[in-house]
Amino acid sequence: MRKFFVSLAILGWLMFAGSLGAQQVCPGLPYVANTPEDDLMQAVSGAEKPEEQIAALDNYAHEHADSKFMPCAYEYYSIAYLKLNNYDKAIEYAGKGLSSDYKDVMLMMNVVKGYVGGGKVSDSVFEIINQLPDVITAESHPSRTMKVSDAEWEKMQQDNAGLASDEHAYAVYAFFQLLPRVSDPGKRLDLLDKFLKAYPDEADKNAKQIDYDYFVAYKMGNKADKAVEYGEKTLAIDPDNLVVRNLLAYDYATGRTNPDKAVEYAKKALELAGQMKKPEGVTDAQFQQERDNQSGMAHLSLGYVNFTRSAKTKKLQPAIEELKTAAALLAANPELQGQALYYLGYAYESGYPANHRAAIEALTKATSLPSSWKAQAADLLAKVKRAAR
Per-residue pLDDT of 179-234, as tens digits, reads 999 999 999 999 999 999 999 999 999 999 999 999 999 999 999 999 999 999 99
153 contact partners, CB below 8 Å, separation of at least 6:
144
d(CA 7, CA 332): 38
pLDDT band for 6, please (50, 70, 90 cuts): very low
Per-residue pLDDT of 59-112, as tens digits, reads 999 999 999 999 999 999 999 999 999 999 999 999 999 998 889 999 999 999
For the packed helices 356-367 and 374-388, what is the interaxial angle rounded to 10 degrees? 150
Q: Is the pLDDT of residue 9 over 70?
A: no
Q: Is the pLDDT of residue 142 over 90?
A: no
Per-residue pLDDT of 320-378, as tens digits, reads 999 999 999 999 999 999 999 999 999 999 999 999 999 999 999 999 999 999 999 99
pLDDT band for 5, please (50, 70, 90 cuts): very low
pLDDT band for 176, please (50, 70, 90 cuts): very high
Q: Is the pLDDT of residue 171 over 90?
A: yes
Residue ranges of the alpha helices (H) in the chain?
8-11, 36-46, 50-63, 70-83, 87-98, 105-118, 123-139, 150-178, 185-198, 202-205, 207-220, 224-237, 242-254, 259-274, 284-313, 317-329, 334-350, 356-367, 374-388
- Classify 155 as helix, strand or coil: helix
pLDDT at residue number 229:
97
Sign of CA dihedral 291, 277, 3, 283: positive
Per-residue pLDDT of 300-317, as tens digits, reads 999 999 999 999 998 999
Shortest CA distance to 175 belongs to which of 116, 95, 248, 250? 116
pLDDT at residue number 146:
67
d(CA 355, CA 360): 9
pLDDT at residue number 66:
92
Q: Which residue has the higher pLDDT, 142 or 62?
A: 62
Quote the DSSP letter at residue 206.
Answer: T
**b/e per residue 3-36 (b: at least 16 CB within 10 A):** eeeeeeebeebebeeeeeeebbbbeebeeeeeee
d(CA 191, CA 177): 13
d(CA 88, CA 78): 10
227 contact partners, CB below 8 Å, separation of at least 6:
215, 218, 219, 247, 251
Going from the N-terminus, what domains does the chain have, and what CATH number goes with each? 8-181 (1.25.40.10), 182-238 (no CATH), 241-388 (1.25.40.10)
